[in-house]
Amino acid sequence: METVLVTGGNGFLGSHLVTALMEQGDTVRILARRHGDQAARQGAETIWGDIRDPEAVGRAVAGVDRVIHTVSNFRHGGSDKGEAHSINVEGTRLVLEACELHGVKQLVHCSTIGVHGSVREIPATETTPYNPGDLYQQTKLEAEQEVWRFAEQAGFRTTVIRPISLIGPGDKRMLKLFRMIKQGKFVKIGPCQAFFQPAYIDDVVAGFLLCLGNEQAYGQVFIVGSDEYVPLEELFVIIAEELGVKPPSVRIPLQPVLLLAGLCEALCVPLGIEPPLHRRRVSFFQNNRAFDIAKVKNRLGYQPQVGLREALRRTIAWYEQEGWL
């Protein structure tokens, strides 16, 4: 068994990875920012620090066998260019440099299907052209390109995973959608014919684990997630059915909402306030996300276990258990 560092180990994906690694007997270290007097996670060594701090990153990487790099400013749709770049790109560069310095055996870098943006070719694959649609996706793409540049120069074992949109216990990003559908307040924006492909967290975690120490994964990029994608309109109906309520029926046009979101960002971002509405949130209604996971299945024997309806059902059960629905 090995020692694995999970950067962002207290995040949604990171914390599930930490649990799974500990379950398979690995020694786990986390790099995470501390909030207040937050306690360290039991069973794992925690290095408190920022991904932009070379000293903290060096301490976190020193002595581990493998690194899974999940840190990203994912949740902060209104963050400015400098912050997104420094966390997603420069932070990744620091991780790469530390991996080389300390002779790490493999880096598994967590990217996103967002590097493909809203896809036109359905289903998209790892070779579908890049088409990042916002600052987050652009900086994730730059980070991925930095990873490959570095790996080539340093002859370093690297795997890139582009997870599909994650759902499951621990996620709060989709909570608003479920809650508004349950309360009958959800308003559809635009035609809602874009595809969405929710991936259950345990399946994506299994994909990461399959890559560790696996020669078939070195130098490869994999889209990892579920098999099923549906138009948003259908997704909303399934969620409503699972919640036992009527599907949403009110719809408003897209363009005015986009204008309002742009205005919110223009007002809030310079003041350092997270905008209540931003274009990335609206893009949920616009972006086509439909991906083929044949490569990871064929090369690594990956097989998602949780279908779309079951993934939604389990996510609802967790929200209910937390008292949020």
Ligand X SMILES: NC(=O)c1ccc[n+]([C@@H]2O[C@H](COP(=O)([O-])OP(=O)(O)OC[C@H]3O[C@@H](n4cnc5c(N)ncnc54)[C@H](OP(=O)(O)O)[C@@H]3O)[C@@H](O)[C@H]2O)c1
User: Taking the complex as a whole, how short is the minimal distance between the CB of residue 155 and ligand X, in angstroms?
Assistant: 25
The correct pick among 4, 17, 21, 87 for binding ligand X (CB under 6 A) is 87
**Under 8 Å between Cβ of 43 and 26:** no
Stretch that binds ligand X, among 22-30, 73-81, 185-193, 227-235 (CB under 6 A): 73-81
Our CA angle for 41, 175, 116, nearest 5°, is 90
Residue 215, CA distances (Å) to 14, 103, 158 in order: 23, 17, 10
167: left (phi > 0), else alpha (psi -120 to 50), else beta? Answer: beta
| Number of Cβ atoms within 10 Å of the Cβ of 135 | 21
Stretch that binds ligand X, among 11-19, 127-135, 236-244, 271-279 (CB under 6 A): 11-19
Of 77 and 163, CB closest to ligand X: 163
Instruction: Based on the shown chain and the rule CB under 6 A, indicate whether residue 11 belongs to the binding site for ligand X.
Output: yes
Stretch that binds ligand X, among 10-18, 94-102, 149-157, 314-322 (CB under 6 A): 10-18
Close Cβ partners of 152 (under 8 Å, ≥ 6 residues apart):
none
Size of the site for ligand X (CB under 6 A): 24
| Number of Cβ atoms within 10 Å of the Cβ of 27 | 17
Tell me the H-state helices in the chain.
Answer: 12-23, 54-61, 81-85, 91-101, 135-154, 175-182, 201-211, 232-243, 254-268, 279-282, 294-300, 308-321
The correct pick among 4, 57, 71, 290 for binding ligand X (CB under 6 A) is 71
Residues in 130-169 at the binding interface with ligand X, rule: CB under 6 A: 140, 163, 165-166
Of 42 and 215, CB closest to ligand X: 42
Residues in 253-312 at the binding interface with ligand X, rule: CB under 6 A: none
Residues in 23-42 at the binding interface with ligand X, rule: CB under 6 A: 32-33
Q: Which residues of 169-205 are buried (b: 16+ CB within 10 A; e: fewer)?
A: bbbeebeebbeebbeeebebbbebebbbbbbbbbbbb
Residues in 200-259 at the binding interface with ligand X, rule: CB under 6 A: none
Of 163 and 248, CB closest to ligand X: 163
Strand pairing report for 3-7 and 66-69: parallel
Tokens of 237: 């109906």
The correct pick among 18, 26, 61, 74 for binding ligand X (CB under 6 A) is 74
Of 53 and 260, CB closest to ligand X: 53
Instruction: Please provide the size of the chain in residues.
Output: 325
Which residue of the chain is nearest ligand X when measured via CB? Answer: 11
User: Taking the complex as a whole, how short is the minimal distance between the CB of residue 136 and ligand X, in angstroms?
Assistant: 7
Binding site for ligand X (CB under 6 A): 8, 10-14, 32-33, 50-52, 70-75, 87, 110, 112, 140, 163, 165-166
